[in-house]
Amino acid sequence: MSRVAGFIALAGLALTVAGDSATAQEGVDLAFKFTPGEVMDYDISMSGSGGLRAPDGESARMGLQGNLRLKVTVAQVLPDGNARLQLLIPDADMSVTIGPQSARLAYSNGRVRWYADGREQAPPDADITQVPLLGVPLELVASPKGQILDVVLPEIAGLAGVTQMAPGLSTPQLEHLGDPMFPDHPVVVGETWRRSVQVSPFGPTMPMTVTSSRTLDSYTDQGGIGLAKISGHTEARLRVSRMSVGPPDSGATLSVPEMRETITSTEFFNPTAGQLVRAHYEVAVVTSISFSGAEEGPQEAGLDARLHATIQAR
């Protein structure tokens, strides 16, 4: 990811860094540079595995493997220096396994091919042209220091129904997600910057605590071209007490005893050109969710997964 704070991601989508000419002793001023109309392409490869526990007590192993191309366009540079970015996935080829079953989605230039257990099937009956990231760009506003300031969600059919079922989930606070990727001062080699914030990606009733630390491991400048290596660690935690969901007379409740995500990252940036050279992310997710209804006791579901992602600028 480059010049973009992502997420992902997660958390973030923070993808590129730009810095003025500087030596390692003077410090490197890490900040995004946005040029209206600029287009950046990235190849992303992912692999993962984990375990899924269903409410009925059944469990299954999961696997993920695939590649995709991410296109990032600087749609507008705002008067305050922030930028409105558009993210689109023109091509993707992803495979997922759950227990003995497997599925593969191949997507290119608006055409979808769907495979189930190794055999090509008719693709799911869905309008891809309305799917964020695939058919229409996902828009976000990012700051020069790498913070996602806003996410612009498109109109999605059926969202009104979700609003009625779980009001606490229907009003996500998507402003100021996470923390800035870079500090507001030049960074010297060996320096670590830390931050802890509270965000509400699932709505004001479900705040999430995010802590992060990043370190400038090294910086070289050869022939006027700089290269910065940054290592990082981010942890997000969420706990939700029992809350009502569904119609008021249903008696249905939901709670999240644990939701924890950690991201360990290594990123190589060219501050001279303001672009990411390469990055690798290790993501671990542990989630436990409990449901209960008026006529049935609590049922629990859970997920324990690991994901590896590598990003390479084209």
What are the structural domains, with CATH classification, of the chain? 6-313 (2.30.230)
Q: Mean pLDDT, to the nearest integer, of 168-184?
A: 60
What is the C-alpha to C-alpha distance for residues 60 and 98, in angstroms, rounded to an integer?
A: 6
> Taking CA 31 as the corner, what is the angle to CA 25 and CA 34, rounded to the nearest 5 degrees?
145
pLDDT, averaged across the chain: 80
> Which of the four pLDDT bands, split at 50, 70 and 90, describes residue 311?
very high
Q: How many helices (H) and strands (E) does the chain have?
A: 1, 16
State yes or no: pLDDT of 168 exceeds 70: no
Rounded to whole angstroms, the Cα distance separating 17 from 11 reads 17
pLDDT, average across residues 226-255: 80
Residue 231 is predicted with a pLDDT of 97
Structure tokens that stand for 274 in this block: 């303001």
245 in Cβ contact with 253 (< 8 Å):
yes
| pLDDT value of position 7 | 33
- Other Cβ atoms less than 10 A from the Cβ of 36: the count is 11
How far apart CA 89 and CA 47 sit, in angstroms, is 18
Give a three-class secondary structure readout of 137-172: CEEEEECCCCCEEEEECCCCCCHHHHHHHCHHHCCC
**C-alpha 144 chain-centroid distance:** 18
40-88 pLDDT, tens per residue?
Answer: 999 999 999 999 888 877 899 999 999 999 999 999 999 999 999 999 9
pLDDT greater at residue 14 or residue 30: 30
Residues contacting 222, CB < 8 A, separation 6+: none
Pick the range with the lowest mean pLDDT from 78-82, 125-129, 167-171, 196-200.
Answer: 167-171
Tokens read off for 20: 């003025």
Sole residue written with tokens 């449901």: 291
End-to-end CA distance of the chain: 11
- What is the distance between the alpha carbons of residues 213 and 231, in angstroms, rounded to a whole number? 9
- pLDDT score for 167: 45
Least confident of 119-128, 226-235, 301-310: 119-128
What whole-number distance in Å separates Cα of residue 26 and Cα of residue 225?
16
Q: Phi-psi category of 130—alpha, beta or left, where left has phi over 0 and alpha has psi -120 to 50?
A: alpha
